[in-house]
Amino acid sequence: MPDRPAIVRPPYVAVIGDGDPRGPDAHRILEWAEEIGQALARGGATVITGGLGGVMRAASRGALGAGGETIGFLPGADPAEANEYVRTPIATGLGVMRNLVVVTAADAVVAVGGRHGTLSEIGLALRMGRQVVTLSSWRIESDHRLGGPRMHRARGPREAAEAALRLAKQGPDLPG
């Protein structure tokens, strides 16, 4: 008789991006983030974000509206800072370093747009062995072809969500 209860957890997918997108693409970025959140939830994934505004809020809104679970890792100490679509707010107190938790907690990561904060999260995700799907986000290449990144460019939100779901089920390539 096995001691271990039959917990089968859903795949976790992080959606990362700008907390306050601006410029001509801002509206489209937020729409995409919401569609990605919705598609991930419909695909059975828990959606992880940094819990604040912009892309984090849009992705959580899409996922919660589709009946999904949403977890938000906040930089500060107050769980009430989470946006209203985060079902499980986690106050980390880590400041900038909460970004490491956002991507390490995930089985795969989707980046939608984003500035330097998003770039640092992509770098940390790859460092921690997580596959990253990008949509209108950073392009990263190596000059010397060692250690090519685990990155996948999607052309639209549906493709991004599908790729992330598939990669999340494969699981991370854990760092040595």
Ramachandran angles phi, psi of 128, nearest 5°:
-90, 10
66 touching a copy of itself, by CB under 8 A: no
140 touching a copy of itself, by CB under 8 A: yes
158 touching a copy of itself, by CB under 8 A: no
Query: Nearest-CA neighbor of 48 among 100, 114, 126?
Result: 100
Q: Which of 55, 85, 109, 168 is the binder for a copy of itself (CB under 8 A)?
A: 85
53 touching a copy of itself, by CB under 8 A: no
Q: Which of 1, 67, 95, 155 is the binder for a copy of itself (CB under 8 A)?
A: 95
Q: What is d(CA 108, CA 12) in angstroms, rounded to the nearest whole number? A: 7
- Whole-angstrom CA distances from 71 to 1, 23, 58, 137, 170 are 33, 28, 13, 23, 21
96 touching a copy of itself, by CB under 8 A: yes
Query: Nearest-CA neighbor of 169 among 107, 105, 101?
Result: 107
84 touching a copy of itself, by CB under 8 A: yes
Measured from the CB atom, is 127 or 169 closer to a copy of itself? Answer: 127
Measured from the CB atom, is 38 or 92 closer to a copy of itself? Answer: 92
